[in-house]
Amino acid sequence: MLNNIGLPGLLLIAVVVLVLFGKGKVSSLMGEVGKGITAFKKGVSDGTKEIETANADAARDVTPAEKDKV
């Protein structure tokens, strides 16, 4: 259904959205979308760091100390 919209169709949709909502509303909406994308990327990065830290803790050295050796 959406495979053959093309450039003219996208331009028409953009003009209709601009007429319906106005320049200021569309601009603020795009700003919020940008903030959302930034927050998402930060969350993914923090999650990745947390997983890497947990993996590093799990992979710590588990060789026995000298006193435990036979």
Per-residue pLDDT tens for 30-53?
899 999 999 999 999 999 999 888
pTM of the model: 0.55
Instruction: Name the residue with higher pLDDT: 2 or 36.
Output: 36
C-alpha radius of gyration, the chain, whole number? 26
Judge whether residue 28 has pLDDT over 70: yes
Instruction: Name the residue with higher pLDDT: 26 or 36.
Output: 36
| Per-residue model confidence (pLDDT) at position 2 | 62
18 Cβ contact partners less than 8 Å away, ≥ 6 residues apart: 26
| Per-residue model confidence (pLDDT) at position 66 | 73
